[in-house]
Structure 1
């Protein structure tokens, strides 16, 4: 049974009450800079002090690298600076966010935005930068304005993007803005202005469904299931027959039930834009895909710092660290004729997506098509301060490392593809997601059917140098967010 997601790590409170496993700040010889001496008794204490003391206590308890954590800076420093100063060099992922509730919403796909993702490139022989829209989110302002995948733009709010200003200009996308949209004219082969005036885009609090597309193709008498899944989130919690589940997880089950009823024989998972998310949904997806798995088979296990490891060992025993597959009648693994799952990847593929790759590998052949993944084998939790009403901060520290059934966790440099493919290799032209001629999907279909894909360049054109992907700007990127038990 999947554990219920807890957005506040209640075991932090319980942890400090377990005397035999708790080490106080003084016992750890942690000596933060003292509070500044205030000669005026009427002065109010700097609120940063209480927040930073909370940050220190949390990190001392749960941070994966607590034994090598950096020394604290001044206790009255800005909390963002205090937190960042503690992080070890190898930590690319721990995050502090100004508002806990906003942090949780962002992780679950709720964000104020116009509703489109982009990849930026440097123009040939120039410092100019241009963007290509990679996908548009259903029902958002960009969708309503008619924007499409493959549209290009050079200006935001009338200002040309360059290598020196694109970072600040991208921040404008969180508010109403304009884009000089240019669309491919298939007759001329040129990108032309969509309209004389720039396209105006509003922003709204958009609730993004991680399931972007699902389809079944029949090619050369082979039925191929295709799922585009852009982040891991269970969705709004529902309850039926005393069983709690997320609406997005339920939609996944419905999709795989459809795959099963239609006799899907091969499966393509498109995770090229999936930067991670909740591990509970990763278990859910893996349990629908794995071949020859049974309920209780090991999907992955976790390791923590000595303090947390000892606490969980005492409270729950060694089984706590093992995350197992769950029974899903919609599982299609045993009807995949080749015994393989084909996964489309890019450098945006991270965290819980890599957990899927690593965890399924002992049970079936995982064929990666695309680019080397990002490389993240460590997990986080969301933490808020429930004692201090003036502390709105949310923490997302790294607390664990994951290993598969074969004890493998060696992918900090990412997983290399079995078949290299770059969605921009067709002269930078992006066909619609789900089009069987789209570069990466067609490469997967070619592997399944043995029919070569159409001749295409395997390298990006020389006039395009990748600069940045908007996927990496999301707070949820690179996150593997653990499910946690409830404490009574």
Structure 2
């Protein structure tokens, strides 16, 4: 998504190069082309030394060094590698409205879509306009959202006017087919859920650079049945801090743990559904907060590098700071298909079947058990981030994707077999007598023992089934794109 917005360094490709052409009349002409191949050569040099699967790399004689970095990496990396990447190094972040969204087709207009807001950065132009997760955008200025103009309308930079909608049950007019053969009885109106416009349009200010705090939301909730204090933490990236304040976000994690501790929190619901990984140091810190007290100082995970770098092999330990440790004995993790890397390592390292059981709610994670490391080329302002080590859990076992139990594998938007956005609400929304965010409500039900239901009855399906397919999901340029030096998982 970011490619066309980033500052891209174009490396000219030579369409026809004859090696003999580098040497004319005994003159070595290679220096004329060296700069054009320098970046790809540097990438291959870095990988020859640090890449976990360096044995699978081609030789210098078997590669084309005149292609742009992403294409070059895709051609040389191992077929089992889904995680190494290259990126341009940006001096400053990009301006953004500060929200993520998914496009859902408008059932009343063939070429139009409604945009479901899935994430809002606090303090962003979107937040300033009052937008929240679960809101719908139906029009931008006076235009319906089409795929052709969606990027211009929703990813632009100027101030815009938004027509918002809400998910609501409405009466659908029956087609006039005469109802021949019917019994003549009035069966009442047909009701169906749709997105319908609400209120007056709202103004969203122009895009600007915003800071997205990885500690996105935390709440202290009392469970309805067991009446225990539950700490809810929506944590969207394992990022320690900013360049100016390297421990800024880690200090906020420490502060949240203190608030949970002072409130007498007995269980934590850790929302990782939007978390795509980050720094190993942050995993260690959060693990120290969440593990049981008797595991402080014990092995949390193991890192193993290639045979050129065995001196870097390491054992990651839980910290020993009892002041931040909550001494929990249970944890509920909310996961999704984009949960990967660091959050998977955390869950796998905390889990001990007979000592520290962990339930996951949502959908299966991606399954990443390798870490990358960032290497920066200051001349070209590009970085290569190759896989450099395998990560093992606290039992020194490898691991794959984390899959919730069958009855806990649930969707945010499918209820009783139908698409239903009535519980697609801002993170942390919980009201035991009213509306609650769906996955949080289920997680609390697991803690209370009320979910899954005990009666084994199949939920009744609504009379009018409605299915709305998400056509496209888009993340804000600033959302959860945190830079991290050193190891990233």
- Structure 2 Cα separation of the partners of residues 217 and 475 of structure 1: 27
Corresponding residue for residue 261 of structure 2:
260
Residue 112 of structure 1 aligns to a residue whose secondary structure is coil
Higher helix share: 1
Distance 1:264 1:94, change over 3 A: same
SS state at 1:299 partner: strand
Whether the 8 Å contact between 2:288 and 2:325 is mirrored in structure 1 is: no
Q: Which residue pairs with 1:7 in the alignment?
A: none
The answer for unaligned runs of 5 or more in structure 2 is 1-17, 171-192, 431-435
Q: Cα distance, 1:466 vs. partner?
A: 3.2
Contact kept, 8 Å, 1:234 with 1:249, in 2: the verdict is yes
Q: Does 1:431 align with 2:416?
A: no
Which structure 2 residues correspond to residues 150-299 of structure 1 after superposition, within 5 A? Answer: 150-153=134-137, 165=148, 169=151, 173=155, 175-176=157-158, 178=160, 180-184=162-166, 191-194=195-198, 200-219=204-223, 220=225, 221-236=227-242, 246-299=247-300
Counterpart-to-counterpart distance in 1, 2:285 and 2:201? 46
CA RMSD of aligned residues (A): 3.7
Q: Name the residue aligned to 1:401.
A: 390
Q: How many residues align?
A: 422
SS in 1 for 2:75: helix
Match in the other structure for 2:50: 62
Q: Which residue of 2 aligns with 1:146?
A: 130
Q: Which residue of 2 aligns with 1:463?
A: 467
Q: Is the 8 A contact 1:97 1:394 kept in 2?
A: yes
Query: Could you state the TM-score of these two structures normalised by the residue count of structure 2?
Result: 0.75
**1 CA distance for matches of 2:210 and 2:144?**
27
Q: CA distance change for structure 1 residues 237 and 98 in 2, over 3 Å: closer, same or farther?
A: closer
Deviation at 1:258, TM superposition (A): 1.1
Q: 1:478 to 1:130 in 2, by over 3 A?
A: farther
Alignment check: 8 A CA contact 1:379 1:482 kept: no
Task: Using structure 1 for the length normalisation, give the TM-score.
Answer: 0.75
> In structure 2, which of residues 94, 97, 105 is the aligned counterpart of residue 114 of structure 1?
97
Tell me how far 1:450 sits from its aligned partner: 2.1
The CA distance in 1 between the partners of 2:98 and 2:131, in whole Å, is 10
- 1:145-201 deviation per Cα after TM superposition (whole angstroms, max 9, x unaligned): 221211223566877656x758x7279616337575432176967533356668555
SS in 1 for 2:391: strand
Alignment of 1:386-397 (within 5 A): 386=378, 389=379, 391-397=380-386
Contact 1:124 1:462 in 2 (8 A): no
Shift of 1:54: 0.7
Instruction: Assess if the C-alpha contact under 8 Å between 2:305 and 2:390 holds in 1.
Output: yes
Instruction: Tell me the CA shift for residue 44 of structure 1.
Output: 4.2
Residue 77 in 1 paired to residue 70 in 2?
Answer: no
Partner of 2:7: none
Deviation digits for residues 188-219 of structure 1, max 9, x if unmatched? 67533356668555211111100111111123
2:383 paired with 1:385: no
| Conserved 8 A contact 1:256-1:288 | yes
Aligned residue number for residue 37 of structure 1 = 22
Shift of 1:306: 1.6
Residues 118 and 98 of structure 1: CA distance in aligned 2, closer, same or farther (over 3 Å): same
* Mapped partners of 1:122, 1:306: distance in 2: 52
Residue 444 of structure 1 is matched in structure 2 by 443
Q: 1:236 to 1:478 in 2, by over 3 A?
A: closer
Q: Once structures 1 and 2 are overlaid, which stretch shifts more, 366-375 or 119-128?
A: 119-128
Q: Are 1:289 and 1:333, in contact at CA under 8 Å, matched by a contact in 2? A: yes
Rg bigger for which structure?
Answer: 2
Higher relative contact order (CA 8 A, sep 6+): 1
Change (3 A) 1:381 1:160: farther
SS at match of 1:184: strand
